[in-house]
Structure 1
Amino acid sequence: MNITAVPFAALDARTAYDVWRLRQAVFVVEQACPYPDLDGRDVEPGTRHVLLRDSGDALLGYARVLDDASTWRIGRVVLTPEARGRGLADLVMGTALQVCPDRDVVLDAQVPLAGWYAGFGFVADGAEFLEDGIPHVPMRLTRE
């Protein structure tokens, strides 16, 4: 396994394609949520792309870290179906948190995953809401 966190400028064309294909396969197709995944934030200078690859360089997992000035925002946390259930999401999330120094970290968790995020220190930070028909809860990790 190899895990890195890189800016958009460090993504080669194949890696960018693999990231977008994985996000589309899971969030748009598997979860049946047509939404504008390519929202312009991938290319922002402060954005970091967390890439989990196997020894053959196939993309297994991904997360996006956004620099929102006063907080960091983690999103698009995803694993391929074949990578699920092996604890690999912990590696992706741990790496995402490593690139979030000195400020609070926020995310919108799908409600069934809120307990998993709580294991990293996140707490609910607002009312549950629906996004694309899926219940979510805003969560925050407070950094002191």
Structure 2
Amino acid sequence: MSWYIKTFTELSKEELYNILKERVNIFVVEQACPYPDIDDKDRTAYHLFKKEAGEIIAYSRIFKSGDYYAEASIGRVIVKAASRDRGLGRELLKQAITFVHQELKESAIKIQAQDYLRDFYGSFGFQPVSEVYLEDDIPHVDMLLKR
């Protein structure tokens, strides 16, 4: 099992297809939330993912400051249902934060978190910077991590 980080143009067609498939499986089907996952932001993102037996089992996209928010950002954080309860979510977020700090040289990371994951993100040092609001009928909160 290896971690990969690629720009949009570096992704193979197969990798892109599998990323989009897993995002739809989780954010649209599993969460019963019809929304346009393909938002044209993938083109400017870095795509961090882990493969196992040829399948993408964990994924997030990462943005430099100014590409999504004024700060760097991590979003679309997913772990495939069959691969949960193995600590991959924590491993994924650690990888993403490390990339933002070390490779992008960014000091602040802003996320749009589903509110039920507030404590998870808080365990990494993210602090709420907004009130809870509905995004696609799901409670969210903006959170910020400053180095």
TM-score bin, normalised by smaller chain: over 0.9
**In structure 2, what is the equivalent of residue 19 of structure 1?**
19
Compute the RMSD of aligned alpha carbons: 1.1
Greater RCO, 1 or 2 (C-alpha within 8 Å, sep 6+): 1
**In structure 2, what is the equivalent of residue 31 of structure 1?**
31
CA–CA separation in structure 1 for the residues paired with 2:107 and 2:142: 16
- Report the alpha carbon displacement of residue 52 of structure 1 after superposing the two structures with TM: 1.0
Greater helix share, structure number: 2
CA–CA separation in structure 2 for the residues paired with 1:14 and 1:123: 36
Q: Could you state the TM-score of these two structures normalised by the residue count of structure 1? A: 0.92
CA–CA separation in structure 2 for the residues paired with 1:31 and 1:73: 22
Secondary structure of the 1:28 match is helix
Secondary structure of the 1:43 match is helix
Q: Could you state the TM-score of these two structures normalised by the residue count of structure 2? A: 0.91
- Report the alpha carbon displacement of residue 58 of structure 1 after superposing the two structures with TM: 1.3
Matching of residue 78 in structure 1 with residue 78 in structure 2:
yes
**In structure 2, what is the equivalent of residue 57 of structure 1?**
54
CA–CA separation in structure 2 for the residues paired with 1:98 and 1:7: 17
Tell me, which stretches of 5 or more residues in structure 1 are unaligned? none
- Report the alpha carbon displacement of residue 106 of structure 1 after superposing the two structures with TM: 0.6
Contact 1:107 1:139 in 2 (8 A): yes
Length, aligned pairs only:
140
Runs of 4+ in 1 over 3 A off after TM superposition: none
Matching of residue 8 in structure 1 with residue 8 in structure 2:
yes
Equivalent residues in 2 for 1:89-100, closer than 5 Å: 89-100=89-100
Matching of residue 105 in structure 1 with residue 109 in structure 2:
yes
Contact 1:41 1:66 in 2 (8 A): no
- Report the alpha carbon displacement of residue 103 of structure 1 after superposing the two structures with TM: 2.7
CA–CA separation in structure 2 for the residues paired with 1:138 and 1:109: 6
**In structure 1, what is the equivalent of residue 133 of structure 2?**
129
Secondary structure of the 2:100 match is coil
CA–CA separation in structure 2 for the residues paired with 1:15 and 1:4: 11
